[in-house]
Structure 1
Amino acid sequence: MTNLTNCLQNACIYVGTYAKYNNGSLYGKWLNLTDYSDYDELLEAMHDLHKDEHDPEFMLQDYENCELFEKLGLIGESYISNEIFEIADQINDSGYDLEVFEAYIDCVGKMDFQGVYDGVINYYIGEYSDNETFAQYLLEEDVPESLPNYIYIDWESTARNLMYDYFESDGHYFKS
Structure 2
Amino acid sequence: MRNLTNAPKIYVGGTYGQYNSGSLFGKWFDLTDYSDLKGFLQDCHEFHRNEFDSDGCRPELMFQDWENIPDFLISECSLHKEAFAYFQATSEMDEETAEAFEIYCKQINYWPSNGCELEDQIESFRESYQGFFGGCGKDATLEYTYQYVEDTGLLSGVPQALERYFDYEAFAKDLFLDGYSEYEGHIFIDY
TM-score normalised by length of structure 2: 0.76
CA contact 2:104–2:110 (8 Å) conserved in 1 = no
More relative contact order, 1 or 2 (CA 8 Å, 6+ apart): 1
Q: Is the 8 A contact 1:12 1:65 kept in 2?
A: yes
Instruction: Report the Cα offset of residue 33 of structure 1.
Output: 1.1
CA distance in 2, matches of 1:169, 1:106: 11
Match of 2:55 in 1: none
Sequence identity, in percent? 32
Question: Greater CA deviation, 99-108 or 45-54?
Answer: 99-108
Distance across 2 between alignment mates of 1:7 and 1:161: 42
Aligned counterpart, 1:12: 9
Aligned partners of 2:149, 2:4: CA distance in 1, in Å?
Answer: 33
Q: Structure 1 unaligned runs (5+)?
A: none
Aligned equivalent of 1:98? 98
CA RMSD across the alignment: 2.5
Deviation, structure 1 residue 174: 0.8
- TM-score, structure 1 normalization: 0.82
Which residue matches 1:25? 23
Structure 2 CA distance for aligned equivalents of residues 90 and 7 of structure 1: 16
Where in structure 2 are there 5+ consecutive unaligned residues?
53-57, 135-139
1:121 and 2:118 aligned: no
Alignment-derived partner of residue 145 in structure 2? 135
Please give the per-residue CA displacement for 1:115-157, whole angstroms capped at 9, x wherever unaligned. 6434312211111132111011012131327732243211101
1:1-176 superposed matches below 5 A: 4-5=1-2, 9-15=6-12, 16-54=14-52, 55-66=58-69, 68=70, 70-71=71-72, 74-93=73-92, 97-105=97-105, 107-108=107-108, 110-112=110-112, 114=117, 116-129=121-134, 130-141=140-151, 142=153, 143-144=155-156, 147-151=159-163, 152-163=165-176, 164-176=178-190
- Structure 1 range deviating more: 26-35 or 145-154: 145-154
